[in-house]
Structure 1
Amino acid sequence: MKTIVRRAALTFVSAAAAAGMLVSPAMAGSAQAAPNPLSAAVGSSDMPQIFVGSSQQDLRNIAWDTRNNLHNAAGALPPQLAQQARQAVDGAVNGMFPGLINERSGGWAPAPAPAPAPAPNPHHGGYRIDSPCPVEARVCVDLNGNRTWIQHNGYVTYGPAVMSAGAPGPETETPRGMFSVVRKVRDEVSIPFDNAPMPYAVYFTHAGHAFHEGRVDWLSHGCIHLMHQDAVTYFDQLHPGDLIYIY
């Protein structure tokens, strides 16, 4: 704070000195020259004092009052010198407190807050599919239509993709209802079925049901088969906890 105060004091001393230098030539030829009005203003008891402990706002107020007093004192000078003196004072004030003069003179306004960046549009497909799948579901599976898609707030973001599901029967059919992603295994195999490959497995039950790469022209033992690129996309975009709705 002492450094700030010292700089502020030097600013106004410099301003007064600069203005005084402008005045001196005009007064040098007169033995009866009056005291320099700017020097008198700086030394006047009416001038606000810069003191240790002043806040930044206090210093700005002091700077503004000092600038105005020096401007008023310059009114005793010839018009051309008065203008030059005021410019010297304003230059010093602007150097120490940028923007202060415009702010206090009514020419300043706070910069408008930047407009919020538009939210990225997650609706890559930009459309809804007429289905019973709820908007909160991340993935929808239409067993009768052999199709599935990924969505966000009810809007399609990927798909629909062709798929196949479990064969009819209590031991093989794919369960219906709301589920959630349990875990993912990139290079999975099915131990109960002779280590059959299940690449890009995304499990949605603890009983072993999963999305994974497989032939979409074959019925499964309950899993949902996807073509390679679809399986990769589901594996990359789905995460534990994402809701899966199968109907």
Structure 2
Amino acid sequence: MLGVGAAALALVGILGLNAAVDTDEVLTAEAREATPVAPQPLSDEARLDVVGTHLQDVPVPFPRNVEIHDVVGEAQPMTPEEAVEVVDEKLLEWNLTPTGELVNNPCPPHARACVDVDNQLAWLQEDGVITHGPVANTTGKPGHETPRGEFTVLRKVRDEVSYVYNLEPMPFSVYFTELGVAFHEGSLEDQSYGCIHLSNEDAVHFFDVLQPSDIVVVV
């Protein structure tokens, strides 16, 4: 049987051991909290969802929207931040900021409407300030390239059809060359025979804003 002194020493030892264990547990928990958790790579489906959300307000024309998804989809596993970074780098190559604005405006200030054939973008401006767009468009296919240069709006026809190409509908046509090149509503996935295809909403807006004698620049 332990004496009072020995019992007291034993109790102190036990308490000290428990305190040490508790301290170790606290330190371990604090270390876990302080250790940054590595971002988890996205699944293929999740990374494409991130791209779609990031691009929902950016006018990326076909087939570049497909190209972006291919680049992200075929890359090594990546985090959401890495996926967005890849997308933003591609946008800059196409003269677009991550928010869908032009990095550089290649059109002169006196132009009222502008088309960037290489990047498949179109916009309206006034005194060099963009008032609508840039928006996605499609231009002429090989052999029917959209002419580049400075032109003047000649006429507008709301319910137009092509008398050369099987009476194909050309709603909201705004003609700016004597050869029949116009802005009009059309497919954003199929190239044209020289015209500038726009979405319905954008074709209506271009039709309403542009007037005969306005300057159109195609670069």
TM-score by length of 2: 0.53
Q: Given the alignment, which residue of 186, 190, 193 partners 1:214? A: 186
Q: CA deviation at 1:129?
A: 5.3
3-state secondary structure, aligned to 1:164: coil
Letter in 1 for 2:120: N
Q: CA deviation at 1:132?
A: 2.2
Which residue in the other structure is 2:28 paired with?
Answer: none
Runs of 4+ in 1 over 6 A off after TM superposition: none
Q: 1:246 to 1:149 in 2, by over 3 A?
A: same
CA–CA distance in 2 between the matches of 1:205 and 1:152? 21
Identity among equivalent pairs (%): 50
| Alpha carbons 2:153, 2:175 under 8 Å: kept | yes
Aligned residues: 119
Q: 1:238 to 1:129 in 2, by over 3 A?
A: farther
User: Quick check: 1:168 aligned with 2:142?
Assistant: yes
User: Quick check: 1:236 aligned with 2:208?
Assistant: yes
User: Quick check: 1:184 aligned with 2:156?
Assistant: yes
Q: CA deviation at 1:189?
A: 0.3
Deviations 1:38-77 (A, max 9, x none): xxxxxxxxxxxxxxxxxxxxxxxxxxxxxxxxxxxxxxxx
CA–CA distance in 2 between the matches of 1:218 and 1:141? 17
Q: 1:129 to 1:203 in 2, by over 3 A?
A: farther
Deviations 1:65-102 (A, max 9, x none): xxxxxxxxxxxxxxxxxxxxxxxxxxxxxxxxxxxxxx
CA–CA distance in 2 between the matches of 1:134 and 1:244? 10
Q: CA deviation at 1:194?
A: 1.0
Which residue in the other structure is 2:113 paired with?
Answer: 139
Q: 1:128 to 1:163 in 2, by over 3 A?
A: closer
User: Quick check: 1:223 aligned with 2:195?
Assistant: yes
3-state secondary structure, aligned to 2:193: coil
| Alpha carbons 2:115, 2:123 under 8 Å: kept | yes
Deviations 1:184-233 (A, max 9, x none): 00000001111110000000001000000000111000000000000000
User: Quick check: 1:158 aligned with 2:128?
Assistant: no
CA–CA distance in 1 between the matches of 2:146 and 2:184? 13
Q: Relative contact order (alpha carbons < 8 A, sep ≥ 6): 1 or 2 greater? A: 2
Select the structure of larger CA radius of gyration.
1
Alignment of 1:78-157 (within 5 A): 130-157=104-131
**What root-mean-square deviation, in Å, do the aligned CA atoms of Structure 1 and Structure 2 show?**
1.2
Letter in 2 for 1:220: S
| Alpha carbons 1:128, 1:156 under 8 Å: kept | no
| Alpha carbons 1:180, 1:244 under 8 Å: kept | yes
Q: Which runs of 5+ in 1 are unaligned?
A: 1-126
CA–CA distance in 1 between the matches of 2:181 and 2:172? 13
